[in-house]
Structure 1
């Protein structure tokens, strides 16, 4: 079975896509052809979106599904005229909140990802710059780090650091364990003063070899034997140092970040 899904928003569409994909993941026997339509914030754009959806309906003979986070009811109704199944993310909550708060919603568009709080936005940018400058041991001044991820090359350290910086304003650095570190089986000297901020990432050797092969085809770096040796040594090193570790093989970046933040007791809402 194959169905078409449109994620429609008056802003970036990230919320509609994230929530929509979480719901669709519950239906693993169905294939979904996904399309994101962001910044549908005028009647003209809503009419164009409705035409696209209606055209898809005619082409496939299957009713398209729309996951919608548009705030303006008029725009929602315009898109709904396409005949699609409309799943309004806000609908279950808005009415009850209006009743509880004693006020109607504003219906203003493009609110979620706008620059509402400049202080938080600046913190996010600063954290992102920090993650980039402290990526793979480029800068080893870890005094300002909220946490430091440790692991072998390509185990997921960089994307996790950037995700935490972009979404939570967390200053996260990362340190790649080198062959020299792994031979000695000792925590690198530059990390020892920050032992309480360290967290290890590991990965299955087969998956690591696949990732490395894409980066450096045919290299010793990408061989399964080298990956197994590095991961085994890294595991022994982290265990000896008493550093908590997470296997990232079958875990999303979002879940990795959440588990790390929970481990360190860092409670910050997503920006």
Structure 2
């Protein structure tokens, strides 16, 4: 079956985590009016992994009748050459930038595998990010409220307002330790902050969302439930936004924002420093 032009397979490929490829790929694809069917291949450092990747790329081409897009960052010349010979449009996410820096500085770049960032002088940064991800996962969706003193930021909001993806993005991209807590019925009825949050007020940040959008998201999860009803969504959002205003908790509406945009606005408004890896 031929692709109708409304969607296209996209691959993010790297000899490292592929986070950079995903981030830059999302920025580029946001300029074009089609749906991206995305798949990520991190740590492509061997012929075996390359063969597996090329097999999927070629199958995509055979299945859809159009070449998929590949955003990649590969250091090993043999792996890079093999990928470029696949049935895809391939884009090196760093090539043009590196070339321009090379010309401006009159220096030859010395590429190295991204995994080398995990050893030697950069090992502390690597393990800091891993620790941040582990902390964030352990404090997702109100699982635990222990060790809040270690949190960089605490996200509050109703269920399905974007807290989990934002938390993980902040941890993975910037090495921040994030707690996220969904307000439940008891919280909304009390309409006050839990005592655990009182001494960490300076870390609190709220997420809200348009009622219509929240209803749509919840309907996809639990269709026909009270949880997804327009009335329930309106009540929860009105109560929580009132709490944010009363307690002077900064907050943003996530309805029309990507997770990258949400995260950037939080960093800016909360005054958090980006930790670059």
TM-score (ref. length: structure 2) = 0.77
CA shift in 2, pair 1:42/1:107, >3 Å: farther
| Secondary structure class of the residue paired with 1:190 | helix
1:123 maps to which residue? 128
**8 Å contact kept, 1:12–1:113:** no
Alpha-carbon offset, residue 143 of structure 1: 2.7
Q: Distance in 1 between matches of 2:136 and 2:226?
A: 28
**8 Å contact kept, 1:5–1:35:** yes
Q: Distance in 1 between matches of 2:185 and 2:60?
A: 54
Q: Distance in 1 between matches of 2:96 and 2:255?
A: 35
| 1:134-184 deviations in Å (ceiling 9; x for gaps) | 441632553332222222233222332233223322222233334343334
Could you tell me which of 168, 171, 181 is aligned with 1:162? 168
Alpha-carbon offset, residue 226 of structure 1: 1.3
**8 Å contact kept, 1:69–1:90:** yes
Alpha-carbon offset, residue 43 of structure 1: 5.6
Q: Distance in 1 between matches of 2:233 and 2:201?
A: 25
CA shift in 2, pair 1:49/1:262, >3 Å: same
Q: Distance in 1 between matches of 2:55 and 2:185?
A: 58
Between 49-58 and 110-119, report the one with greater CA deviation: 49-58
Q: Distance in 2 between matches of 1:140 and 1:26?
A: 42
1:9-24 matches, cutoff 5 A: 9-24=14-29
1:149 maps to which residue? 155
Q: Distance in 2 between matches of 1:57 and 1:186?
A: 55
2:208 maps to which residue? 202
| 1:79-117 deviations in Å (ceiling 9; x for gaps) | 334475442222212233334555433343344764562
Q: Distance in 1 between matches of 2:177 and 2:63?
A: 48
Between 256-265 and 164-173, report the one with greater CA deviation: 164-173
Q: Which is greater in Rg?
A: 1
Between 18-27 and 130-139, report the one with greater CA deviation: 130-139
Alpha-carbon offset, residue 72 of structure 1: 3.4
Q: Distance in 1 between matches of 2:98 and 2:75?
A: 10
Q: Distance in 1 between matches of 2:135 and 2:8?
A: 42
1:192 maps to which residue? 198
CA shift in 2, pair 1:170/1:213, >3 Å: same
Alpha-carbon offset, residue 120 of structure 1: 1.9
TM-score (ref. length: structure 1) = 0.79
1:91 maps to which residue? 95
- CA-based RMSD of the aligned residues comes to 3.4
2:31 maps to which residue? 26
Alpha-carbon offset, residue 76 of structure 1: 3.1
Q: Tell me if 1:106 matches 2:122.
A: no
Alpha-carbon offset, residue 234 of structure 1: 0.9
